[in-house]
């Protein structure tokens, strides 16, 4: 059997180290990030203006914080694929949470979870709200 010239008895330690570094890199970087962010608060969603049309949010805060994506997927499926209207909508969320920067982007940017929604769905950022209000006056 032909002996390898790349991986030999002598340099297997080096290769093992390189391999381990590459595999563990994400973990190490996460730890470093965690250490350096100590003292910063976890971003909280900001309730800007409770709207009188809604008694409370469609689900409780705990559910919304951890499982809002499941709710959105279910709503999406119900509305589009089953034609069930009149339930939960993004516009409904916007009645109380006016700015998507405060509502969505704040946590999503901190958590590094990118969103694909705003190319198609209309939800204003702080600056866009300011522009609109400025224009109205």
**Interface ranges with another protein (CB under 8 A):** 76-77, 80-86, 91, 119-122
Q: Are 51 and 94 in contact (CB under 8 A)?
A: no
Residue 1 CB, shortest distance to another protein, in Å, is 11
In this structure, the dihedral spanned by the alpha carbons of residues 3, 7, 13 and 18, taken in order and rounded to 10 degrees, is -170
Residue 64 CB, shortest distance to another protein, in Å, is 20
Residue 15 CB, shortest distance to another protein, in Å, is 13
CB nearer another protein, residue 82 or residue 137: 82
Q: Are 80 and 120 in contact (CB under 8 A)?
A: no
Residue 71 CB, shortest distance to another protein, in Å, is 15
CB nearer another protein, residue 39 or residue 86: 86
3-state SS record for 66-135 = HHHHHHHHHHHHHHHHHCCCCCCCHHHHHHHCCCHHHHHHHHHHHHCCCCCCCCCCCCCCHHHHHHHHHH
CB nearer another protein, residue 38 or residue 81: 81
CB nearer another protein, residue 1 or residue 35: 1
């Amino acid at each position: 059997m032909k002996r390898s010239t790349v991986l030999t008895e002598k340099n297997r330690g080096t290769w093992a180290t390189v391999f381990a570094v590459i595999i563990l890199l994400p973990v190490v970087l996460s730890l470093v990030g965690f250490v350096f962010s100590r003292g910063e608060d976890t971003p909280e969603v900001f309730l800007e203006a409770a709207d009188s049309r809604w008694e409370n949010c469609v689900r409780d805060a705990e559910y919304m914080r951890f499982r809002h994506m499941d709710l959105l997927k279910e709503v999406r499926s119900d509305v589009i694929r089953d034609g069930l209207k009149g339930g939960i909508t993004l516009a409904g969320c916007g009645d109380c949470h006016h700015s998507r920067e405060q509502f969505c982007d704040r946590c999503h940017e901190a958590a590094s979870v990118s969103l694909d929604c705003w190319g198609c769905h209309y939800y204003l950022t702080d600056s866009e709200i300011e522009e609109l209000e400025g224009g109205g006056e």
